[in-house]
Amino acid sequence: MAKDLLILDDDNALRRTLARAMDQRGFIVTQAASVKEAREHISLHAPNYAVLDLKLEDGNGLEIVALLRQVRPECRIIILTGFGNIATAVAAVKAGALDYLPKPANPDAIEQALLQREGNLPEPPEDPMSADRVRWEHIQRVFEQCDRNVSETARRLKMHRRTLQRILAKHAPRS
């Protein structure tokens, strides 16, 4: 499979740095700074690999995941984001992405994720999320799914509303 790679990110410095790093690893890189630009590149030539930012000024990287799955089902797609949480990771994988990596991602980790073969388990993370962080992420996901309604979220999580308010007022636990 040709190692043609689309990198979609609206952060110019990060996109250029990642493009250089992936070029050094043997990928033929095309860069896009917007969903519109990515669509144009894909209409000319759908890549075999893609690294997509999740949140962009003119849309969402998941739109491009869906487009790539239509035009090139075997495309290997990685989502990068600075807004990582479990809910968006699940949405990315359900849409067809292979993996979901937080920014700033190491180019070696990106290459490993792109070239990972089906059925092989990836290496365990060096610094996995703590149980407190997983709990916090779950609460945040349910809170967002309830349209940020504290009472409804508390009811669904079977916890007291004031307890939930205290949890929501705190910052996320580290790792």
Question: What is the CATH architecture assignment of 131-169?
Answer: Orthogonal Bundle (1.10)
Fold designation for 4-115 = Rossmann fold (3.40.50)
* Per-residue pLDDT, 2: 77
Q: What is the residue extent of each domain of the chain?
A: 4-115, 131-169
CA distance linking residue 22 with residue 31, whole number of Å: 11
Answer for the pair 32, 41: CB distance below 8 angstroms, yes or no. yes
Residue 83 has pLDDT above 70, yes or no: no
Q: What would the two tokens of residue 114 be?
A: 């792109």
* Per-residue pLDDT, 86: 67
Residue 88 has pLDDT above 80, yes or no: no
Q: Please list the helix, strand and coil fractions of the chain in percent, rounded to the nearest 5, in that order.
A: 50, 15, 35
Question: pLDDT for 136-162, tens place per residue?
Answer: 878 887 888 898 899 999 999 999 999
Q: What would the two tokens of residue 23 be?
A: 């070029």
CA distance linking residue 68 with residue 133, whole number of Å: 32
Which band of pLDDT confidence, cut at 50, 70 and 90, is reported for residue 92?
confident
**What number of other Cβ atoms are within 10 A of residue 95's Cβ?**
18
Which band of pLDDT confidence, cut at 50, 70 and 90, is reported for residue 94?
confident
Which band of pLDDT confidence, cut at 50, 70 and 90, is reported for residue 80?
confident
